Amino acid sequence: MASPIAFKPLSENKTLQILSAAEQGHYAVVSPVIYNLEHIIGSIRAAEAKRAPLIIEMFPWAITFSSGLLVHCAAQAAKQATIPVSVHLDHAQDEEQIRYAADNLPFDSIMIDMSHHEREENLRKTKELTEYCHERGIAVEAEPGRIEGGEDGIADTAELEGVLTTEKDVEDFAAAGVDVLAPAIGNVHGSYGARGPQFDLKRLQNIQSSIAGRMRIALHGTTGVPDELLRQCIAKGVTKVNVNK
């Protein structure tokens, strides 16, 4: 049966166009997690008021909860927006659901999150699913290393050892074809507690140098992160800033 989605070449991918412009302009694009239609409308109106690009993202439960309807709403709102807007699936961990989303739903990009697996398995699954998405014109984000904590409906890594991203990870995930890297630099999903965020900015700098323009950088775990620290991360190559609170 033919897919209901008309696939475009990866060269026309909206998420990659938005992030490439951000990299060239030395700024980052906010990527809020949306939970309902009001979030979609409010996020786009706020972006339009600032004349700023936007990446709307949602967790996998949004697919099952609404049988994909929320995704279509976001895609239609993005199409009607007066600023560049793309639609992103965040922390997709179920391989069958990733293939279903790529085949049947209007996502511009998907985060293939296999970070709950050990490194080699993470890499193998990521490469295989990246190829599948690219064949359908969908950009891919992935997480080398392991960002601690959990989010709505996502496998919680709190009981797993946090693993910081290395320069070898950069090479391996670039070779896997990943478009956007979500590195683990001491960032966590959820609260940072009394100490606050303890980001390894030198590691982020080395990651940017190793990437050498081959991938964009996404920053996860921004709850409670001070503006000045965000600016430092953007100066070191971050172009996508995930926001969930």
Instruction: Give me the catalytic one of 90, 108, 169, 172.
Output: 90
Please report, for residues 184, 190, 206, 231, 243, the alpha-carbon distance to residue 201 in angstroms, rounded to integers and kept in the order given.
11, 19, 9, 11, 20
pTM exceeding the 0.85 threshold for the entire prediction: yes
The annotation places the binding site for Zn(2+) at 91, 113, 143, 189, 220
Strand residue runs (E) in 83-237: 85-92, 109-112, 139-142, 148-149, 180-181, 188-189, 216-219
Residue 149 has pLDDT above 70, yes or no: no
Active site residue 90: yes
| pLDDT score for 163 | 80
| pLDDT score for 155 | 47
Helices (H), 81-163: 95-104, 119-134
Q: Which residue has the higher pLDDT, 5 or 174?
A: 174
Residue 89 has pLDDT above 90, yes or no: yes
In order of their start, the domains of the chain are 10-243 (3.20.20.70)
